[in-house]
Structure 1
């Protein structure tokens, strides 16, 4: 199967696709002994590809499920040197160009996928793929039934966006501490969507955790820890996203 040269370079962790394009244009990349400067050039993975005279080695694809704590950015790096989810990885995985699948806010905890497979990431984050994401939301104050119904029916956020959850479920009313625990399931992922939805009904989020991504849960994964995805889980994610398109 033919792939664009810059894509193969990125998969080999040579550099990002954009940086790989710069390498190509500058004549730093050879394919089967010939310098290639054409960005649309396609290659087979069996071709001999060299960067600065050194053959590249295709990296093994890795897939992890991380239980993100609050206080970490969902990004591979940060120009302000703030903590990122990459800081939670073992040393053996920090040398691989891994990145999160989508994002969780700095002050949101829970399930986050991490990989070095760009196709996998694009597949799961494409807006036409309606993957369910479930959040446990601790709200400051008591949500009466009328407010729960309002959430279920959908609310307007960001001035003109109508946000309607897939499901809203009441879990606990804590009258002693004046808080409510609910579950919200979304099939979209706007920036700070859950927090904005709660604010739209006149309340504030106390804490927020993503507990499910499609069929994946946090079972067996402690906060700040991660585990590799199993082969059948990877295949099932692909199958489900295609079926929900």
Structure 2
């Protein structure tokens, strides 16, 4: 017996968090009965449907995308904007993949996709402290005072960020800007932009260049690749240590 939200996640319907929303919206039936409790237990013989479509456990797939700017991180967009899903071949989209977390419309870089709800759950939970590395071009010459504040934690949206790892990579005196590497273990909305704004150095452009141990090496902007088996195992292995 497993919880209904886990059942949906294993079937690649969505992440566990997304599964909760689907269940509470009344879209899920177990043996023909609408169930709105995510914690409802189901067995292997139970017939589970989403929007009256029977779900089955799927073979899990994993992709790393080098997201360009100008795309929204969602499967569908009511405003008809370009979504990250449009960057995938139809044969890969058919596996019902979804993005793990988000990158802003104006932010480029690493974005992971899967139909494995469990991995998506772990990667987006703050307690697992998955490091995410960004390169930010900011306005002005980043000061030691600002770096110290970022390393200690700054307040954004009534929330105190966890200590970040920060270093100035390059000072461009001609254009009065600094290239900054910042590593965070959270994923608040526009977090890096808000952190830099708070210390007085607005972001001009932003790229996520690292996700855990994964990098953009070998993946051009707008391209993607499947994760290798050992990479997926390594991601899961990190969580099992906790």
TM-score, reference length from structure 2: 0.84
Aligned mates of 1:134, 1:54 — CA distance in 2 = 39
Aligned ranges 1:88-103 → 2 under 5 Å: 88-103=87-102
Aligned mates of 1:59, 1:183 — CA distance in 2 = 38
Equivalent residue for 1:111?
A: 110
Task: Rate the CA distance shift 1:43–1:81 in 2: closer, same or farther, 3 A.
Answer: same
> Are 1:162 and 2:160 matched, yes or no?
yes
Unaligned runs of 5+ in 1: none
The total of aligned residue pairs comes to 232
Aligned mates of 1:155, 1:59 — CA distance in 2 = 42
1:78 Cα shift? 1.1
Equivalent residue for 2:42?
A: 42
Aligned mates of 2:219, 2:79 — CA distance in 1 = 29
1:98 Cα shift? 1.4
Task: Rate the CA distance shift 1:69–1:41 in 2: closer, same or farther, 3 A.
Answer: same
Aligned mates of 1:136, 1:235 — CA distance in 2 = 27
> Which of the residues 191, 194, 207 maps onto 1:193?
191
Name whichever of 138-147 and 63-72 sits farther off. 138-147
Aligned mates of 1:166, 1:206 — CA distance in 2 = 20
Unaligned runs of 5+ in 2: none
CA contact (8 A) 1:165 1:185 kept: no
> Secondary structure at 1:73's aligned position in 2?
coil
Equivalent residue for 2:139?
A: 140
Equivalent residue for 2:65?
A: 66
1:48 Cα shift? 7.8
Equivalent residue for 1:82?
A: 81
1:207 Cα shift? 0.5
1:237 Cα shift? 0.9
RMSD: 2.7
CA contact (8 A) 1:151 1:165 kept: yes
TM-score, reference length from structure 1: 0.83
